[in-house]
C-alpha cells in the first residue's frame, strides 16, 4: 500500500530535506545519554535518516503535516498526531509493545505519545521501505491494533 523506495519515489529536494532534518535530530539526540543508547554518532545519524525518510514520504506524498513539537513526527489529514516508525526487522511486534509502554506508563505521560503509529520495515543499506501497517491504540487490554 505505502511501500516506497527512497531514491525512486522521493525527489532530490525531499531527500535533501530528509538529510537536513536528520542532522538536526541527530545533534539533539547526541546531547542526551538516554537517547544515545550506546550508538555512535554515525549510527544515530543513520537511524535519524531512516526515520525522517518515512516522515518526509508521508508529508510529500500523503499531505501529512510536520509536527514541530520535539520528538513528534506528523499530523494526518484529520490533524491527529502520528508517530512514524522505521524498523530493521520484519515483525513489528516489539515496537508495538514498546509504543504501548510509552502510552500507558505514567513515567512517559509527559511525552503524550501518539495513539496512531505507522510502521515500515527498512533493511539497513537498502532504499526500500516496506509498509507494515497503521496501528491505533485500543486501550490497555488490546494495545495497538492494525487498522490498515
Interval 109-141: pLDDT, tens:
667 889 999 999 999 889 999 999 999 999 888
Count up the domains in the chain and report the number: 1
- Tell me how far apart the alpha carbons of residues 103 and 92 are, in angstroms, rounded to a whole number: 17
pTM strictly above 0.85 = yes
* CB-based contact 81:70 (threshold 8 Å): no
pLDDT, position 106: 63
Whole-number percent of the chain with pLDDT over 90? 78
Q: Residue 103's domain spans which residues? A: 4-146
Closest alpha carbon to 86 in 148, 130, 144, 21: 130
Amino acid at each position: 500500500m505505502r511501500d516506497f523506495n527512497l531514491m525512486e519515489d522521493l525527489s532530490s529536494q525531499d531527500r535533501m530535506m530528509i538529510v537536513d532534518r536528520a542532522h538536526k535530530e541527530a545533534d539533539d539526540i547526541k546531547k542526551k545519554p538516554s537517547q544515545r543508547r550506546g550508538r555512535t554518532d554515525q549510527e544515530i545519524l543513520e537511524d535519524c535518516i531512516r526515520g525522517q525518510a518515512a516522515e518526509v514520504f508521508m508529508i510529500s506524498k500523503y499531505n501529512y503535516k510536520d509536527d514541530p513539537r520535539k520528538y513528534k513526527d506528523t499530523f494526518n489529514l484529520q490533524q491527529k498526531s502520528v508517530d512514524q516508525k522505521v524498523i530493521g526487522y520484519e515483525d513489528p511486534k516489539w515496537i508495538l509493545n514498546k509504543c504501548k509502554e510509552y502510552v500507558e506508563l505514567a513515567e512517559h505521560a509527559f511525552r503524550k505519545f501518539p495513539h496512531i503509529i505507522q510502521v515500515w520495515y527498512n533493511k539497513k543499506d537498502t532504499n526500500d521501505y516496506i509498509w507494515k501497517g497503521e496501528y491505533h491504540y485500543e486501550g490497555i487490554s488490546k494495545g495497538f491494533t492494525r487498522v490498515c
